[in-house]
Each structure stands twice: as C-alpha cells, then as structure tokens.
Amino acid sequence: DMAAAVPEEMEEIIRPTGFFRAKTKSLLGLSAALRDEFGGEVPGRLEDLVKLPGVGRKTANVVLGNAFGVPGITV
C-alpha cells in the first residue's frame, strides 16, 4: 500500500527526479485519495483526475490518453 509508505524511504527512491519532497507529499496524497475515494482505481474522467493531489490538467490529459485511449493533445 503506497499510501502507507514511509515518506523518508520514498524520498530516497525518487530523489534523482528533483523536487523529491514535494513529489513525495503528492504521491502519498495521491495514493491515499485513489484508495479512499476511488476504490484503488484510477478515475477515467478529467474532473476526477484534477482533484487528485499533484495532478493538473496536463497530467490528467496524459493519463486519459495513455491509460484510457481518450484522444487529445498534450504538450
């Protein structure tokens, strides 16, 4: 369960990506929200995706296109 991960351990794993503390906070919040609000499933609607911690419109559109085959332009 990623939502129960130890933040310091996650920070070490994602440190090379930069902004690792902010990303850790977003990933933990995202994991908890997916578990608690969406039954562990990634939602397939833009309106739901952008409510998740750390997910903006660009990320939501990439997820919709890659995971759900929704056509769109992402830059």
Residue 60 half-sphere exposure toward CB, CA atoms < 13 A: 16
Nearest to 74 by CA among 49, 53, 52, 51: 49
- The answer to whether residues 39 and 62 touch, using CB atoms and an 8 Å cutoff, is no
Nearest-angstrom CA–CA distance, 61 and 75: 10
**Segment 18-42 mean pLDDT:** 96
32-67: per-residue pLDDT in tens? 999 999 999 999 999 999 999 999 999 999 999 999
Alpha-helix runs per DSSP H in the chain: 7-14, 20-38, 46-49, 57-68
